[in-house]
Amino acid sequence: MLLPYLTTQAYNDAHLAAHQREFRFLSESLQEKQVDVERLLEKLAGFQVAIPSWALGTGGTRFGRFPAGGEPRNLEEKMHDVALLDRIARCCGSISLHIPWDIPSDSKAIRSLANDLELRFDAVNSNTFQDQPGQALSYRYGSLSHVDGAVRKQAIEHNLEVVRYGADLGTDVLSLWLSDGSNFPGQNNISGALERTQDSLAAIYKEMPGEFRMFIEYKPFEPNFYATVIPDWGTAYLLAERTGDRASVLVDLGHHLPNTNIEQIVATVLSTGKLGGFHFNDSKYADDDLTTGSIRPYQLFLIFHELVSGLNKKKLPLSSLGWMIDASHNIKDPLEDLLQALEAIQLALLQALIVDTDALNAAQVSNDPAGAGEILYDAFRRDLRPILAEYRLRKGGALSPIQFFREHGLRNELIKQRGKKALATGL
């Protein structure tokens, strides 16, 4: 375990003077714009992003897999890595489990470890897109939408098992993504598959404990390439609406066709009260699962702008939505990747929080597109990283997470403990 010995104090002390100069300069220029920096720091404290258990190791494609070395070999080591990230970044104190990749077989011991690591459990994710060893019936032709009631029943049971694991660990969200669909025209009765899915969701919902919520995630294609049963936000919304009050839509940034206006989707679903949660990643082509903010940072800012204004309108806190990273790729150090993603997400939030909303409203009602653009650019083009550094400093994290991770040789430490060939379970 690296954690008990890990301290950021000496590192921060060495970089403190430079940080203070930058923070003072930024604070003064923001104050001139009537931005309350202390309020921004409070907002950051109320914004936590969950880390999925499958993002802690390198992912593979069908062409190969190149482990980073020192990857977590079991759930306990995954929890340790999330706690390590949170110790550095102070914004990710929860882990989201994927069942059956990470079954908490001894939930008491896992709860106790979480307590020691100051970690919480976020949404639990079911998996009916793969067959597991020993599974009676196959999901080859679907799960909750399958034409055979016995397969649907097995998939419903699996989801309820996931809910039970989650309840044992103190979470109250079931996150559900279905790969169900068809590869060829005529293979499925399209409306029949949707109706069967609706019935299966209702069966799960009926059996969930009263406080449990259900997030329904959509995705346009892959692994099915003709018709996915839940391809878009409209279908997810329809299913959530028909399933019940505690069912809502989950937006995964990579689950859209190229150039889809995601901020418009977010604004629309949020206004209906049916936006449940978020999966952060970035993409150039499709579901690329690249580091959040690495391809389209302006889009990420615009999405946060809609989120912040939509939540403000409803007087809801940021914590009323579920925030999670959902990424996995081949070549970056997975922990460095997550640190980069967290920084990009927090930066987009900060940029959205400094938008001059009164001026923007005025530009909108006077039909002034250039003026409105200036207001957004002014927020987006400002380097707000010193505020993030200040937040981490006050919370005992590292002024610069990646630099700290590297200077302390944390990957090498993990390799020493777990071996060069350690392979994360899951993807």
Nearest residue (CB) to Mn ion, 169 versus 327: 327
The site for Mn ion, by CB under 5 A, has a size of: 3
Out of 279, 385, 392, 418, which residue is the one contacting Mn ion (CB under 5 A)? Answer: 279
Nearest residue (CB) to Mn ion, 30 versus 286: 286
H or E element, residue 95: strand 94-98
Please state the closest distance from residue 426 (CB atom) to Mn ion, in A.
Answer: 14
Which of the stretches 77-85, 297-305, 323-331, 373-381 binds Mn ion when contact is defined by CB under 5 A?
323-331
Nearest residue (CB) to Mn ion, 260 versus 309: 260
Please state the closest distance from residue 269 (CB atom) to Mn ion, in A.
Answer: 16
Q: How many angstroms separate the CA atoms of 308 and 42, rounded?
A: 15
Residues 215-274 that bind Mn ion (CB under 5 A): 252
Beta bridge partners of 249: 216, 275
Strands in 253-388 per DSSP E: 275-280, 322-325
Asked whether 344 and 297 are in contact (CB, 8 A), the reply is: yes
Which of the stretches 79-87, 138-146, 181-189, 276-284 binds Mn ion when contact is defined by CB under 5 A?
276-284
Which of the stretches 137-145, 326-334, 353-361, 401-409 binds Mn ion when contact is defined by CB under 5 A?
326-334
Asked whether 223 and 179 are in contact (CB, 8 A), the reply is: yes
H or E element, residue 174: strand 173-177
Nearest residue (CB) to Mn ion, 279 versus 382: 279
| Distance spanning both ends of the chain, measured CA to CA | 24
Which of the stretches 55-63, 230-238, 278-286, 361-369 binds Mn ion when contact is defined by CB under 5 A?
278-286
Which of the stretches 1-9, 29-37, 268-276, 277-285 binds Mn ion when contact is defined by CB under 5 A?
277-285
Beta bridge partners of 124: 97, 174
Please state the closest distance from residue 34 (CB atom) to Mn ion, in A.
Answer: 38
Nearest residue (CB) to Mn ion, 54 versus 139: 54
Q: How far is residue 276 CA from its own chain's centroid?
A: 12
Q: How many angstroms separate the CA atoms of 49 and 413, rounded?
A: 25
Residues 186-205 that bind Mn ion (CB under 5 A): none
Nearest residue (CB) to Mn ion, 90 versus 219: 219
Please state the closest distance from residue 368 (CB atom) to Mn ion, in A.
Answer: 38
Dig out the tokens for 7 from the structure. 């301290």
Q: How far is residue 346 CA from its own chain's centroid?
A: 12
Residues 34-53 that bind Mn ion (CB under 5 A): none
Out of 326, 336, 343, 390, which residue is the one contacting Mn ion (CB under 5 A)? Answer: 326
Nearest residue (CB) to Mn ion, 278 versus 304: 278
Nearest residue (CB) to Mn ion, 179 versus 400: 179
> How far from 98 is each of 18, 242, 275, 346, 423, CA to CA, in Å?
41, 26, 21, 24, 16
Q: How many angstroms separate the CA atoms of 294 and 281, rounded?
A: 9
Please state the closest distance from residue 52 (CB atom) to Mn ion, in A.
Answer: 8
Residues 48-107 that bind Mn ion (CB under 5 A): none
Nearest residue (CB) to Mn ion, 280 versus 404: 280
Please state the closest distance from residue 226 (CB atom) to Mn ion, in A.
Answer: 21
Q: Is 125 helix (H, G, I), strand (E, B) or coil?
A: strand
Please state the closest distance from residue 328 (CB atom) to Mn ion, in A.
Answer: 10
DSSP 291: P
H or E element, residue 410: helix 410-418
Which of the stretches 167-175, 318-326, 337-345, 404-412 binds Mn ion when contact is defined by CB under 5 A?
318-326
What's the angle, vertex CA 422, arms to CA 419 and CA 427, rounded to 5? 165
Please state the closest distance from residue 175 (CB atom) to Mn ion, in A.
Answer: 8
Please state the closest distance from residue 383 (CB atom) to Mn ion, in A.
Answer: 30
Asked whether 15 and 398 are in contact (CB, 8 A), the reply is: no
Dig out the tokens for 111 from the structure. 């709860």
- Look at the block and give the residue holding tokens 């759930």: 75
Nearest residue (CB) to Mn ion, 163 versus 216: 216
Please state the closest distance from residue 279 (CB atom) to Mn ion, in A.
Answer: 4
> How far from 244 is each of 90, 208, 210, CA to CA, in Å?
35, 12, 12
According to DSSP, the β-strands at 213-217 and 173-177 are: parallel
Nearest residue (CB) to Mn ion, 69 versus 322: 322
DSSP result, 7-24: --HHHHHHHHHHHHHHHH
Please state the closest distance from residue 177 (CB atom) to Mn ion, in A.
Answer: 6
Which residues contact Mn ion by CB under 5 A? 252, 279, 326
